[in-house]
């Protein structure tokens, strides 16, 4: 993750608590001051870190972790669609065809 993605994650957490959705384009998005204002309004920690608990034992982990909500986009490029094969035999060096 880069720094922008971390801020986006924390802003998503603030938006979830405040019932808001944000649109922040990559190079023209929210400033750090705007993000901090939303974080403060949602009463969340500025660094977006909180303690997590082990689901099996219920014990708290020693270190805080950055948490939040982030929207991911899955690319539709699959290797199966890009694979190709060629049978053995002669082919043209110029056109790469047989």
pLDDT at 87 over 70: no
pLDDT tens track for 42-71: 999 989 999 999 999 999 999 999 999 988
Q: Is the pTM of this model over 0.85?
A: no
The ranges assigned to domains in the chain are 3-82
DSSP 27-87: SS---HHHHHHHHHHTT--TT-EE--B-TTT-PBPSS-EE------------HHHH-----
CATH number of 3-82: 2.40.270.10
């Amino acid at each position: 993750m880069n720094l922008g993605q971390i801020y986006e994650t924390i802003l998503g957490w603030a938006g979830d608590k405040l019932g808001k959705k944000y649109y922040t384009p990559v190079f023209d998005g929210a400033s750090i001051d705007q993000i901090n204002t939303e974080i403060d309004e949602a009463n969340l920690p500025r660094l977006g870190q909180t303690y997590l608990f082990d689901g099996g034992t219920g014990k708290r982990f020693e270190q805080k972790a950055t948490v939040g909500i982030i929207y991911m986009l899955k690319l539709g490029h699959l290797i199966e669609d890009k694979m190709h094969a060629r049978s053995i035999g002669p082919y043209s060096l110029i056109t790469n065809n047989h």
